[in-house]
């Protein structure tokens, strides 16, 4: 399938916010303080952001920054937009925090997030998305797996846009990469075709 292209990407990793290869923010602050800075500086909006678990906060913030940048370029999501996310440790970061809370009083607000795909719901609800959404657990970001899954999603002719990403957090180690894929319009040229090389650049 050669008619797919990457329209942009955003990364939050190790105190850096990188968009389309350009570092827009760098900090040596701990994760919570760094993310707070990101949310304020890039106007990330969510009515309950503080109540989300850390994995959902990470993925949601990264996705919203990407979406807002693309909207400024007149690239808008449709209701049929699909989501594909992966990570290595599932919801382990939240699971460990929930397990610790049981020792005093179990936290229902943490229990809700003991499934990693909850982050997909947060993105879908905010943006009114009703397309296919998939969350996979893999040992590491695998460009070949992403390519295979994205091509599968686009075989459904109702999908014209897919947001894909890697969202991993455990303690103070975090790595999130989110990118948007759509179809190349007839007669148009793609600056970033979807292939193993372009995926490697984003996910490495």
CATH number at residue 95: 3.40.47.10
Measure the CA–CA gap between 149 and 178, rounded to whole angstroms. 15
Measure the CA–CA gap between 3 and 120, rounded to whole angstroms. 26
Domains of the chain: total: 1
This prediction's pTM: 0.91
The single residue listed with the structure tokens 């919801």 is 91
Enumerate residues 6+ apart whose C-beta is below 8 A from 19: 8, 9, 10, 11, 65, 66, 69
**At 179, which helix (H) or strand (E)?**
strand 173-183
| Model pLDDT, residue 136 | 97
| Model pLDDT, residue 98 | 62
pLDDT tens by residue, the chain, 204 residues:
679 999 999 999 999 999 999 999 999 999 999 999 999 999 999 988 988 889 999 999 999 999 999 999 999 999 999 999 999 998 887 767 666 666 666 556 655 555 788 899 999 999 999 999 999 999 999 999 999 999 999 998 889 999 999 999 999 999 999 999 999 987 777 779 999 999 999 999
| Model pLDDT, residue 99 | 65
Residue 117: give the domain boundaries: 4-203
Q: How many CB atoms lie within 10 A of CB 11?
A: 24
């Amino acid at each position: 399938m050669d008619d797919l292209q990457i329209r942009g990407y955003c990364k939050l990793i190790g105190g850096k916010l990188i968009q389309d290869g350009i570092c827009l923010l760098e900090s040596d602050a701990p994760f919570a303080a760094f993310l707070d800075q990101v949310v304020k500086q890039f106007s990330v909006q969510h009515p309950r952001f503080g109540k989300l678990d850390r994995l959902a906060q990470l993925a949601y913030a990264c996705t919203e920054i990407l979406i807002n940048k693309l909207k400024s370029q007149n690239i808008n999501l449709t209701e049929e937009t699909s989501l594909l996310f992966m990570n290595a440790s599932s919801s382990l970061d939240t699971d460990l925090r929930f397990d610790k809370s049981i020792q005093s009083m179990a936290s229902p607000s943490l229990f809700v997030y003991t499934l990693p795909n909850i982050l997909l719901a947060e993105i879908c609800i905010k943006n009114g998305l009703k397309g296919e959404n998939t969350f996979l657990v893999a040992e590491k970001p695998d460009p070949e797996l992403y390519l295979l899954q994205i091509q599968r999603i686009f075989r459904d002719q109702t999908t014209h846009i897919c947001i894909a990403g890697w969202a991993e957090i455990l303690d103070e180690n975090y790595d999130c990469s989110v990118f948007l894929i759509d179809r190349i319009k007839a007669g148009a040229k793609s600056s970033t075709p979807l292939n193993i090389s372009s995926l490697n650049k984003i996910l490495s």
